[in-house]
Structure formats: C-alpha cells, structure tokens
Amino acid sequence: MWRWYLIGLVSVIVCGVAVAFFSLDPSTYSDSGATDMRGQSEVSIVLTDAGFRPERVIVDVDTTLIFTTTRDKPFWPGSNPHPSHTLYPELDPKDAIPANASWIFVAEQPGVWGYHDHIRSYFTGVVIVK
Amino acid sequence: MPHMVRNPYFWRAFLLSVLAFAILCAILLRIPAVHRSAELFSCRFLSADSAREECVFSVIGDELKTTTTGDALKLFVRALSILPRSNTGCHDYAHRVGDIAYYNLYVFNPDSVAFTHPPESAVCDYGFYHGFYEHYFQEHPGVSSIVDTCSALPSGPEPYRRVIRQTCFHGAGHGLVLGRVDKLTRRDWGDIHAFADVPLATCSQLSGLKPDEFSRCPLGVFAVIAQWRLLDNYGFSFSGPASELFKDCLTFKTDYRNACIFTNAIVAQLSFGVDGTFASCEVLKEQDTFVSCVKGIILGLFINGADEARLNNGLSFCASTGVANRGATSDCYVMLEWALAAYFPEAQKEQLCDLFPPYYNERKCFAMGSEDH
C-alpha cells in the first residue's frame, strides 16, 4: 500500500515542479505591464517627472523610437548597464539631449533592453523588441 | 508495475496526492516571500544577459515597493548568483538597487525621509549607498542637506558605521557633479573647472566632519569626472600623451590636486594598465603628487574585485624599482595594506600579510585597516 502512495508522491512532485516552472515563465515578467505598440512604425517615449512613459513598451523590430522629455532638464537615454551602456551600445546618443530636443533611435535588435537616463539613472525603462 | 496501475487504490492515492500538493503550492505561492523567490529562481532560465538582468531587477523592484530595503537587499544578494556580470559588475548592480530605492522613495513618495539602511546595504563595496545618495544629493545639493543627512545615518558597529558615513559624503561628491550637468552647456564640455569648482566649494563648506569624512567629498567629485574620462562623456577622455594624463589635475590647489590624481590613477589603469598609468605618474614632479598616483594605482587594482592574484600584482608593483627610485615604497605598501584590510575577508588577512616583505610584516598589516588612506 505504501508503495502506491510513494509512487503517487513522486509523480506529484514531478508534476508540481513542471506546473511551477510553466506558471512562472520568466519571459512574462518582461511583458508584464508593458504597453504593446507593435504595428506602429514610430513610438514616442517621453521622460516625465515620474520617469519614462510608457515605461515598458513592446515594439516590432525596426520601429523608430522618438525620445523626448517634458522636464526642463537635459536627458540621455542609454542602454543598461549604467554607466557603460554596453548591453546595447547603439541605444545611446553618446551625449546629453537638450530639454527641447528629441533623440531618434531605430530598434533593430530583438530582445529585452533595459535603459535609463544616464544623467538620472533612477529613471529607467524597458524596450521589448520582437 | 502494471498490477499497481490496475489497482484502484493506486489511483485514489495518486489523485489525493495531486490535490494535496496543488493546494499546498497554491498556498505557498501566495506567500509573497515564496512567490518572489520563485520568480527570482525562474529568471535564471533566461539566456540573454539583458533579459535576465531586467527580470532580476523587476523582481527586486517589486520587493522594494512592497517590503523593506533590507528584504530587497537580501533578495539582491541571492540574485548575484543569477546576474551575468556579478564578478565584475557587482558594484554597478548594487548601485542600481540604490537607484531603484531612491526612485521608489522620492518619486513615488516625495515626502519620505526613510533613511533606514540595514547591514545588507554594504554589499558590493557599498554600491547601494553610492546609487542612493548620489541621486539624493544631485537633487538636494546644499551644505546643510549633506551634513544633516550623512550625520543622521544610523549608528552601528565599527567599521560599518564609519564607512557608511564616508560613503555618504563620497556620494555627495558624486551628486554635486552630476547636478552640474543641468546647469552647463556644451561650451563647458571638457572644462574640469566648470564641472568641479562649484561642487568642491560645497565640499569645502561641510563642517563638523572628521578628516577621513571631509576628504571623501572631493574624492567623489573627481571620481565621477575620472569615470567620464573613461567613458568619453561630457568632453572628457583619456586621449592624449601620457605626460598630460594628469594635466587638468595640476591646475587645482594641493589637496584637490592630489585627490584628482588619485582618482584618475584608479580609473586610468582600466585603459592603460598599471605600467601605462605608472608612466604618467613618473612625469609628476612633486613627491606628494607622485605618491597620490601610486596609491591610486594600488586601489585601482581592486576596483573590479579582490583576490590573491591582484594582491600579488600590488606587491610586485610596490617592490618595483620605479616606485623605489622615487622613495614611495613605504607609501605603496601602506596603501596595499589598507586595501587588504578593506577588501579581503578577515580569515584571509593574516595569511595574506605573510606575503608582505619581512620588515613590513612587523607592523601586523591587517590591523591597519582603520586608518584613512
């Protein structure tokens, strides 16, 4: 009798691990809360006093991202990590953008790309390129 | 096996076990700590570095919003085994946790004055404090803001408490320079005095500080500019002949000059290596500037981690003819001794002390860590 319970228990543990694994799919964290803007050729991302808006955005490959700010201060979008921007070097204007100007970037690489304001690195965002 | 499967008791046992386990999982995963741990664990299955980092910091960010800084930092310490660049990027990662904490406290909750910093915040060479306080002082750059904030840091055992205060003042230096970016124009790019003079003036007005705290603010100022040189930011760079590596530093008065040389020597070796940086040190005529340069080289050896190989490099450097010819051998070993005390575990220090020259060992080098460099 105990062998049946033992087999059942082992089966349940295997099933449980599988359920936990699939229910906690890490790729969903990136998409979670993200604004889906696929299908648009241009997407505007604005740095506000509360941070980049939309903060997390899903776009198609080769979408044009237009970075601007409503803050009266220069800004500098740069790929993570701060301060070297090495994970996606092209996601970096290489200089501060004046408050009244914009920076245009074409997202050519698929992936999950975190970025930040190089001047105020606590302002962060994520671009998910699919 | 076939006979068990045909037995009705087997299937009842199996179904009861499945139901019990499902209920147990549902209950456990509702516990935030368990759920967060499971989320963090699942991040390791992301192969792309960028995706894995964003996954981890998303989990840590949620933890910071819903629990305490201490809980989030404990999660961060566990996350270091998942993050792809922990060997070289530990400080940067901890810095990012400080960034997130600052954002949560001051953008989401601008009236917050929650300066509670648990022991876990010391991880990765106090990177959390650098990230947090540089932004705080970037936005609150006044003398009284700096003195009141850093002086109010919680008490605790030494050397933790002493280092926290030093790091706070160092973070103030960072923040003061970062704050200059808003106020300067492209014409000022590359002008070290345009970026540094106002912050240094603020540093000089900080009162009631111990000497080892007072020195931290200007070091923070120059540390940011040195990093900008490494990254070619704001018109600063390490381009140019070795003889001019410290040219801008020499335009400051003595204390600031030496702080500038020290911090630039730390960073410059990431571009030029020890030998290349030392060639620039040798151009410096004044003895105190040369010593600052040598000390910077030593500290720079440990900027991306501390191990016996790096210590041996430091020992070779200190024993070198070039250092001896300028009479800086003792200063070099003192700096190396400080690094040993600061960066190596207690259990390892005595053994590593034995690597120092015999005459130096009499100083019981690992006990010297409390002195300021």
A93 in reach of chain B (CB within 8 A): no
Q: Which residue has the tokens 């530093």?
A: B249
Does one domain contain both B256 and B174? no
Cβ-based contacts of A101 with chain B (< 8 Å) = none
B250 & B348 share domain: yes
Contact B267, B300 (CB under 8 A): yes
- pLDDT value, residue A1: 65
Among candidate residues B189, B217, B233, the one where a domain is terminated: B233
Report chain B residues whose CB lies below 8 A from the CB of A121: 95-96, 99, 131, 135
Read off the DSSP letter of residue A46: E
B291 and B209 co-located in one domain: no
B220 and B256 fall within a common domain? no
- For residue B111, pLDDT over 60 is answered with no
Residue spans of the domains in chain A: they are 1-32, 36-129
Q: What is the CA radius of gyration of chain B?
A: 25
- So what's the pLDDT on residue A41? 96
What integer pLDDT is reported at residue B371 of this predicted model?
44
Q: Mind telling me how many Å the CA of B241 is from chain A's nearest CA? A: 24
8 Å CB contact between A119 and A75: yes
pLDDT at B156: 60
Whether residue B37 is found in the same domain as residue B84: yes
Kindly state the DSSP code that residue B154 receives in the 8-state scheme: P
ipTM of the complex: 0.85
Residue to substitute from A94, A121, A130, interface B, most B β-carbons within 10 A: A121
Hey, are the CB atoms on B17 and A26 less than 8 Å from each other?
no
DSSP result, B234-262: TT--S-S-GGGTTTTGGGS-HHHHHHHHH
Q: Pick from B7, B17, B83 the residue to mutate for testing the A interface (most A CBs within 10 Å).
A: B17
Lowest mean pLDDT among A8-17, B156-165, B282-291: A8-17
- Residue of A122, A126, A128 best to disrupt the B interface, most CBs of B under 10 A: A122
B373 shares a domain with B275: yes
Query: What value does the mean pLDDT of chain B take?
Result: 86
Number of domains in chain B: 3
Q: In this structure, are strands A42-48 and A63-69 parallel, antiparallel, or unpaired?
A: parallel
Question: Two tokens at A74?
Answer: 């220069």
User: B288-325 b/e with 16+ CB inside 10 Å = b?
Assistant: ebbbbbbbbbbbbbbeeebeeebbebbbebbebeebee
B18 located within any domain: no
Chain A residues touching residue B229 (CB < 8 angstroms): none
A7, A13, A81 member nearest B4 (Cβ): A7
The pLDDT assigned to B9 comes to 73
Q: Using the predicted structure, report yes or no on whether residue B4 has a pLDDT greater than 80.
A: no
Q: Are the C-beta atoms of B265 and B293 separated by less than 8 Å? A: yes
* Domain containing residue B46: 30-89+107-114
A vs B: CB pairs below 8 A: 136
Final residue before a domain boundary, out of B81, B114, B147 = B114
B320-338 confidence digits (pLDDT tens): 999 999 999 999 998 998 8
Give the count of alpha carbons within 13 A of B357, CB side only.
15
Any CB–CB contact under 8 A between A74 and chain B?
A: yes
pLDDT at B88: 79
Q: Which two tokens stand for residue B238?
A: 């390490």
pTM, two decimal places: 0.86
The sign of the dihedral angle between the CA atoms of B66, B70, B75, B79 is positive
Please indicate if any CB of chain A lies within 8 Å of the CB of B128. no
Quickly count: other Cβ atoms within 10 Å of residue B34's Cβ: 13
A115 DSSP β-pair partners: A79, A125
CB contact burial B248-277 (16+ within 10 A = b; e otherwise): bbeebeeebbbbbbbbbbbbbbeebebeeb
Residues 291-310 of B with CB under 8 A from A: none
In DSSP notation, A74-113 reads: -B-EEESSTTT--SSTTS--SSPBPTT--EEEEE-S-EEE
Share of chain B above pLDDT 90, in %: 49
The residue with greater pLDDT, B296 or A30, is B296
Which band of pLDDT confidence, cut at 50, 70 and 90, is reported for residue A20?
low
Q: For a pLDDT cut of 70, what percent of chain A falls above it? A: 77
pLDDT value of residue B315: 92
**Pairing assessment for the beta strands A77-79 and A63-69 based on DSSP bridges:** unpaired
B195 to chain A, any CB pair closer than 8 A? The answer is no
How many alpha carbons lie under 13 Å from residue A52 in its C-beta half-sphere? 30
- Read off the pLDDT of residues B182-218 as tens digits, 9 standing for 90 and up: 999 999 999 999 999 999 999 999 998 888 889 999 9
Predicted confidence (pLDDT) per residue in B82-101, tens digit: 999 887 788 899 999 999 99
pLDDT tens per residue, range B22-74: 777 767 777 777 778 888 888 988 888 899 999 999 999 888 888 778 888 88
If asked whether residues B222 and B131 sit together in one domain, one would say yes
Chain B residue with minimum CA distance to A22:
B42
pLDDT at B154: 67
CA dihedral B359, B360, B363, B367 (to 10 degrees): -160
pLDDT reading at A130 higher than 70:
yes
From A47-56, B21-30, B141-150, the region with the lowest mean pLDDT: B21-30
CATH topology of domain A36-129: Immunoglobulin-like (2.60.40)
Over residues B150-176, the mean pLDDT reads 83
Look-up of token digits 């020597």: B265
CB contact under 8 Å between A114 and B50, yes or no, is yes
The C-alpha angle with vertex B15 and arms to B14 and B21, in degrees rounded to 5, equals 90
- Please say if the pLDDT value at position B370 is more than 50: no
Kindly report the nearest CA distance between residue B373 and chain A, in angstroms: 26
**Residues in Cβ contact with B246 at an 8 Å cutoff, skipping those fewer than 6 apart:** B260, B261, B264, B280, B283, B284, B289, B293
CB within 8 Å of chain B, chain A residues 35-64: 49-51
pLDDT at B34: 78
Report percent pLDDT > 70 for chain B: 89
The answer to whether residue B12 scores a pLDDT higher than 80 is no
